[in-house]
A = this chain, B = another copy of it.
């Protein structure tokens, strides 16, 4: 294309073309009037695939799932402060997952802001708590430059959320394209003296644990960590809520730290040195009276070897070399698949069914909350798969995260393993799954409770729940009919109440293309 032709385009068109040239070619969108110039040109950018969601929290959750799986950002397209606000909870999870995401947020024309029209609000104030990078351009040329910078910043290891606020008049202005194609910043492993110091500790007497987060939980990282364990007797542990963990048969494992502080302290008992590799030292998810804030055991030294922004796999491989680890493949779980369960449907039989049917290469978006423990246990020896956890604790992640992963990896089966409470937050994701024919099997763990809150009430010393506290922590009265909700949005849905029917429906859903929903009444 000649410069002359290009220069007749709007900044909006050049922005989308520039993103596509940089390989950023999916846009999870819920636009409004201030984004109309981006919508009107989108057909002129053939590489760009826009995907509509009926709520912005679905857009951001999809972008999170997409970024976790492909290590590159999708765009979101969001409408001003109010639309952006709806995306925040899942951006919070994305930020904690180190997911690359680029938000395009339309705003009023620059000269219209002073008039405080009804939709005007302080977008930057809303964006900062969930963004690594927030900018507002001052000219059309600046918009294109910042558009490329937003992509670069989102891909700076370990990945992050970039938010670009786009005044409508700048998007509409004519510009020449921005020539510079962004390149992802390179990451380095930890310093060699730090690796040597860690190796010394590993060669010593005390019990040492490698504590892994970020991209250390990919197969290569887990393999290197377990080679180190084989050579030194150290333990290999993982943060409790990782963005993405490879696990199952053939993939060397990490012990995942539990949720409650007493369980974490028990698990870490005896550890003398905790070597952090892409993780921060363990802290209590919430503070509980009688337990410390930090869950590093007394007398345990913390050695921060590599930050999430380091090249974690190379760090682990260099550390393996430093402790003279053998190159052989370390121990890994062997395939062991439970028999199809029978009888009562409960978290255990549900977990058995999932583990018995999980296809090789499946992706599990896990927001199963209090119902998911057994499934997590049984799948440790299931077919190799990827698990994505609730990194930021903001419920409402699972259904859109699964949808985004299915867009990213159309050849891999995706399971949304979802508690009913969180599932209702972003239930609109089912519609996008239907529209895009995404291969997502949605399993709703339907205990009709905010069960964690009933657990917390008991922990806080309540000996019995009053009627009002009970009502605030229960999803019954009326019971939600998930099959009807799914069908209302074009997704085949079914309710199951026995282990046999759950197993049968799950088998069917996994075998058929397109989305399905199975309510597991627990």
Chain A interface residues toward B at CB < 8 A: 29, 31-34, 36-37, 39-40, 42-44, 48, 50, 52, 54-55, 57, 81-83, 85-86, 88-89, 92, 96, 108-109, 111-112, 114-119, 121-123, 125-126, 128-130, 168-169, 172, 241, 280, 283-287, 289, 293-294, 391-394, 396, 421, 424-425, 427-428, 431, 434-435, 452-453, 456-457, 460-462, 465-469, 471-475, 477-485, 487-490
Contact = CB atoms under 8 A, between A and B. Distances in A.
A88 B78 CA distance: 15
A485 B478 contact: no
13 contacts: A33-B456, A39-B457, A39-B469, A50-B472, A82-B393, A115-B283, A115-B294, A116-B283, A118-B285, A168-B287, A483-B488, A484-B485, A485-B485
List 3 A-B pairs, minimum CB-CB distance, nearest first. Answer: A43-B466, A478-B490, A82-B394
B31 A431 contact: no
B435 A428 contact: no
A111 B286 CA distance: 11
Contacts of A126: 85, 88, 125-126, 129
B431 A112 contact: no
A33 to B, nearest CB: 5
Given A55-B425, A129-B122, A431-B480, A39 B453 contact: yes
A487 B481 contact: yes
Could you say which of A83, A280, A424 has the most chain B C-beta atoms within 10 Å of its C-beta? A424
A36 to B, nearest CB: 5
A479 B123 CA distance: 32
Given A54-B425, A121-B129, A293 B468 contact: no
A393 B119 contact: yes
Contacts of A484: 484-485, 487-488
A293 B481 contact: no
Contact of A478 (B172, B427, B434, B452): B434
A92 B44 CA distance: 35
A39 B393 contact: no
Given A119-B393, A125-B128, A286-B112, A452 B86 contact: no
Nearest to A461: B40
Given A117-B286, A286-B168, A453-B33, A481 B472 contact: no
Interface centre among A54, A128, A393, A468, by most chain B C-beta atoms within 10 angstroms, is A468
A112 B286 CA distance: 8
B81 A31 contact: no
A81 B29 CA distance: 23
A365 to B, nearest CB: 17
A194 to B, nearest CB: 22
Contacts of A119: 92, 285-286, 392-394
Contacts of A83: 89, 394
Contact of A117 (B285, B424, B487): B285
A111 B287 contact: yes
Contacts of A130: 85, 121
Nearest to A239: B118
Given A54-B475, A82-B92, A86-B57, A457 B36 contact: yes
B34 A468 contact: no
B112 A293 contact: yes
Contacts of A125: 125-126, 128-129
A243 to B, nearest CB: 12
Contacts of A129: 81, 121-123, 125-126
Nearest to A471: B52
A333 B434 CA distance: 48
A422 to B, nearest CB: 10
A321 to B, nearest CB: 33
B428 A427 contact: yes
Contacts of A168: 286-287
B489 A480 contact: yes
Contacts of A285: 117-119
A393 B32 CA distance: 10
Contacts of A425: 54-55, 86, 428
B54 A424 contact: yes
B88 A82 contact: yes
Contact of A392 (B29, B39, B82, B481): B82
Contacts of A81: 88, 92, 129
Nearest to A122: B129
A473 B34 CA distance: 14
Given A33-B456, A431-B478, A287 B472 contact: no
Contact of A472 (B39, B89, B92, B123): B39
A169 B293 CA distance: 13
A383 to B, nearest CB: 29
